Amino acid sequence: MGLLTIIRKQRRKEKEMRILMLGLDNAGKTTIVRRLKGGLDLSTVMPTLGFNIDTIIHKSYSLNIWDIGGQRTLRPYWKNYFESTDAIIWVIDSTDRDRLSDTMMELNELISEERLAGASLLVFANKQDLTGAMSTEEIKLALDLRSLPIGRRWCVLACSAISGLNVMEGLDWVVEEVASRLYLLQK
């Protein structure tokens, strides 16, 4: 996020946020978006081949959520969506220990992108309703989040897209975090 973008947002007071929803395939990104939109029928969720854009009004902010497919063939295209991103919601399947190294590699590559340097990072540790789900502490360690540069705002939150556990709380964190930076609001 460049200084000019911040100044423009303050001047226009547009109360709008651009959020990228990313993660490996089958992590639950689209299901989380559906849950955020009011718990629409979750049984019809299909893998996202490309991207979906949904706008949600939350706490008087207009949130443009870009849900981008996580298949290996789509990941090289993620960079096309980085411009003007205010927050990243990284979704991880907490039961998928086999792909934890892939998750770490993709997340590290993502957060090293200069165009995302100012974006807040929420890691949703999804599928907590399933047996064998890793704890948030395990995920913080596995993803080495504590080594992120000082100034990078981040949070790891256990959630379940199916039950709704902590999904709204995560969105609250994102909105409060971004608003405190872009709109000079107190938390």
pLDDT in tens, 148-169: 888 889 999 999 999 999 999 9
Residue 116 reports pLDDT greater than 70: yes
pLDDT of 5: 60
Instruction: State pLDDT tens for residues 61-102.
Output: 999 999 999 999 999 999 999 999 999 999 999 999 999 999
Residue 53 reports pLDDT greater than 90: yes
Domain ranges of the chain: 3-182
118 is in an annotated binding site: no
pLDDT of 12: 47
Which residues are marked as active site?
Answer: 71
127 is in an annotated binding site: yes
Using CA atoms, how far apart are residues 50 and 67, in angstroms rounded to an integer?
A: 9
Indicate the pLDDT class of residue 13, thresholds 50, 70 and 90. Answer: low
pLDDT of 11: 39
23 is in an annotated binding site: yes
Cross-strand pairs, 89: 21, 122
Is residue 26 exposed (0-12), middle (13-18) or buried (19+ Cβ within 10 Å)?
middle
Assign a CATH topology to domain 3-182.
Rossmann fold (3.40.50)
Using CA atoms in the order 113, 114, 115, 119, what is the torsion angle rounded to 10 degrees?
80
70 is in an annotated binding site: yes
